[in-house]
Amino acid sequence: ECLPAIHKGLKDADSWRRWEAVNALARVNDESSAAGLRGVLASSEKRDRREAINSLGRIPGDEAYNVLAGAVDDRDPGVRFRVCMALGKRGDRRALKVLTERRAVEQDKQVLEYLAKALEKLQ
């Protein structure tokens, strides 16, 4: 029952409300939320984008996986390391290819650290 209100909160003008909506979706774990979180990743708000990855990491299903896999090349290393962490926790072996390809071009030390941990969990 709360999902429509939370999804609406993803587009709220108030940054605190947007962040709270993104954060709430991590607790609801509903597959229908992946599309809204994809929209958050398109925004310029760094804090919301990073929290969206944390929420996506807890949402089951292919759409959430696809959004995460697509964000592995994000411009923000804070997003990228969270993607690596989330993909490793999901345990979906499809992520091996995505993470291995990212490792070949990644230069950020923190991202490389999480990449290694995620690959270790998946192998």
Q: Are 122 and 88 in contact (CB under 8 A)?
A: yes
Global confidence as pTM: 0.90
Q: How far apart are CA 26 and CA 109, in angstroms?
A: 27
Q: What is the pLDDT of residues 74-111, one digit of tens each?
A: 999 999 999 999 999 999 999 999 999 999 999 999 99
Cα 1 to chain centroid distance, Å, stands at: 24
Q: What is the pLDDT of residue 90?
A: 92
DSSP 58-105: T--SHHHHHHHHHGGG-S-HHHHHHHHHHHHHHT-TTHHHHHHHHHTT
